[in-house]
Structure 1
Amino acid sequence: MSDAIPVLTGKCMCGAVEYTVEDAFGYAMNCHCSNCRRTTGSAFKPFAGIERGKLRLVKGEDALLIFGNGDDAHDVHCRTCGSLLYSVVREGAYVHVAMGTLVDAPTIRPSGHIFVGSKAPWYEITDDLPQYREFPED
């Protein structure tokens, strides 16, 4: 019996960028902040957080569009189709993988809604997950 951590694949809509990430996410949330809404074009961004070193780009480094300031915090999109793949956060130590770009199903599920204080007024949260005005305290 192997104790190896499964590796998931992910990619952008057009397939120009592909990545792998360990199925060892530490947390997952649905973010309702205005930045996540704008970058996804949706009411919220479902994301899963993991240490940055556990995500590997396997195709399309030349097709990346980096939006943000510096190595410590930025969004990574496909330059061709615009898909948001992941966000570098927490002083560059973690990535928030956009769960919609995962080809394989992760074992983690979002455990709450964050930044509901700025959620879209036209969207109603209808599940029973906890809601946080901003980011929950550790």
Structure 2
Amino acid sequence: MTRLSGKCYCGAVSYEVEDAFVYAANCHCSNCRRTTGSAFKPFAGIERQKLAVVKGEDALLIYGDAENHDAHCNACGSLLYSQVREAAWVHVALGTLVDAPTIRPTHHIFVDSKAPWYEITDGLPQYQGHKE
């Protein structure tokens, strides 16, 4: 299985993840917009055990609880991934990957709370909440 590398902006934290993502989307919820400072967060979902922090685990800032949280670099603030579904899955922030994954986002979620100044123009399916 191909492994992809990813890292934060300052390079204090690096991770590897299998190129075996199960789904990918663009999330427009207000929390994702705040954590990324962008109109949406492109992410890909994979089982938690397929991601490993290979450098700087002690430099992670965990926002949330042990099972469901966002993992940021505590030096530069980059959002690297979100641990979800009671720690069974991670949503990797696609912008932190150094290598290109084979998966691409297939839909937009939480468009009911998208930034009013951003217009979605790509033609991908749009969902008010999670994908139905």
Please give the TM-score of this superposition, normalised by the length of structure 1: 0.94
What is the aligned partner in structure 1 of residue 106 from structure 2?
Answer: 111
Pairwise CA RMSD of aligned residues?
0.5
Partner of 1:12: 8
CA distance in 2 between partners of 1:117 and 1:72 (Å)? 27
Aligned ranges for residues 41-52 of structure 1 at < 5 Å? 41-52=37-48
Aligned length: 132
Letter in 1 for 2:108: H
| One-letter amino acid of the structure 1 residue matched with residue 23 of structure 2 | Y
Q: Is 1:76 equivalent to 2:76 in the alignment?
A: no
Measured in 2, the distance between the counterparts of 1:22 and 1:55 equals: 7
- Residue 12 of structure 1 and its aligned partner are, at CA, apart by 0.2
1:66 aligns to 2:58 (yes or no)? no
**What secondary structure is seen at the aligned counterpart in 1 of 2:31?**
helix
Superposition TM-score, scaled by structure 2 size: 0.99
Q: Which runs of 4+ in 1 moved over 6 A?
A: none
Q: Which runs of 5+ in 2 are unaligned?
A: none
Give unmatched runs, 5+ long, in structure 1: none
Partner of residue 17, structure 2: 21
% of aligned pairs identical?
76
CA deviation string 1:30-75 (max 9, x = no partner): 000000000000000000000000000000011100001x222100
